[in-house]
């Protein structure tokens, strides 16, 4: 089985323009993400897929592999799908470009799902972690997910799910971590489907899979990374950098 990591890297960002090219310690955010993904040793290849010559040069000039996007894309999955059409690969792992503290263990657990799935029943898998902070649970920037007894996602939402109606039960809240693994055929299908109603209203791309009847297997991890969305996030990441191993 050939497994490749693809890191979508868009230069423009509404809340924090050029965030991937911000310096974190001794190198840029996107290089941290690329280098830490490569250092896991889990992949046959690691590529950054970008719409920016600046990011492309940043990766290739420092010994990495990058692919330039040709079209305009609504999501990282669309950007990756364009690149993998011509690549011989079985499973693609989408590592977010703004997650510089990539760890081996969560990615390995995702990959193991596919390696152990001899009947190819799992088409898409993703990560989640337990949320206990009430402020984060209520924060729409933290995407929540609920799962069934087989750990398949039932719904993703920026709202609080499940809703604790009478307060007598203490539910477990999960945050969706935007790291995905896909088999190549279903990723190509994703890009040929139109944006679905729930995806459009929630602005959560993985809902397109659920609305088209494709289950998403979820894996629990205790990974607590820092997604770089704001200058404040970059400051938090800089403070964490010294303790990252």
Q: What would the pLDDT profile of 190-216 be if each residue is shown by its tens digit?
A: 989 999 999 999 999 999 999 999 999
pLDDT band for position 174 (50/70/90)?
very high
Say if residue 162 is preceded by a cis peptide, omega within 30 of 0. yes
Q: How far apart are the first and last CA of the chain?
A: 29
Say what the pTM is.
Answer: 0.90
pLDDT tens for 125-140 read 999 999 999 999 999 9
User: Which residues are within 8 A (CB) of 81 and not within 5 positions of it... i.e. 6 or more apart?
Assistant: 187, 188, 190, 191
How much is the average pLDDT of 26-49? 96
Question: Rounded to the nearest 5°, which phi and psi values hold at 234?
Answer: -65, -40
Domain 3-124+176-241 has CATH 1.10.10.60: no
Confidence (pLDDT) at 224? 62
Confidence (pLDDT) at 11? 86
Residue bearing the bigger pLDDT, 241 or 107: 107
Segment holding 79, helix H or strand E: helix 76-84
Confidence (pLDDT) at 239? 86
Confidence (pLDDT) at 187? 94
243 has a pLDDT exceeding 80:
no
d(CA 48, CA 68): 9
236 has a pLDDT exceeding 80:
yes
Q: Which of 30-44, 53-67, 70-84, 165-179 has the lowest mean pLDDT?
A: 70-84
Q: Which of 63-77, 105-119, 198-212 has the lowest mean pLDDT?
A: 63-77
């Amino acid at each position: 089985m050939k497994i490749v990591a693809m890191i979508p890297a868009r230069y423009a960002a509404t809340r924090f323009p050029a965030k991937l090219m911000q310096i974190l310690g001794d190198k840029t955010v996107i290089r941290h993400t690329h280098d830490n993904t490569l250092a896991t040793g889990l992949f046959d290849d690691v590529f950054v897929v970008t719409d920016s010559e600046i990011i492309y040069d940043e990766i290739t000039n420092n010994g990495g592999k990058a692919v330039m996007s040709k079209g305009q894309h609504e999501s990282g999955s669309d950007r990756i799908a364009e690149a993998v059409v011509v690549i011989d690969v079985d499973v693609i792992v989408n590592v977010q470009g703004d997650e510089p503290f990539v760890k081996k263990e969560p990615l390995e657990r995702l990959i193991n799902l596919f390696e152990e799935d001899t009947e190819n029943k799992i088409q898409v898998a993703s990560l989640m972690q337990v949320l206990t902070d009430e402020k984060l649970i209520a924060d729409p920037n933290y995407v929540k997910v609920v799962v069934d007894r087989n750990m398949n996602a039932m719904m993703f939402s920026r709202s609080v799910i499940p809703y604790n109606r009478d307060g007598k039960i203490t539910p477990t809240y999960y945050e969706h971590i935007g790291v995905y693994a896909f088999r190549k055929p279903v990723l190509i299908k994703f890009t040929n489907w139109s944006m679905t109603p729930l995806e459009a209203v929630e602005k959560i791309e993985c809902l397109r899979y659920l609305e088209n009847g494709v289950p998403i297997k979820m894996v629990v991890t205790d990974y607590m990374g820092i997604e770089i969305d704001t200058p404040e996030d970059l400051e938090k990441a800089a403070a964490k950098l010294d303790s990252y191993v």
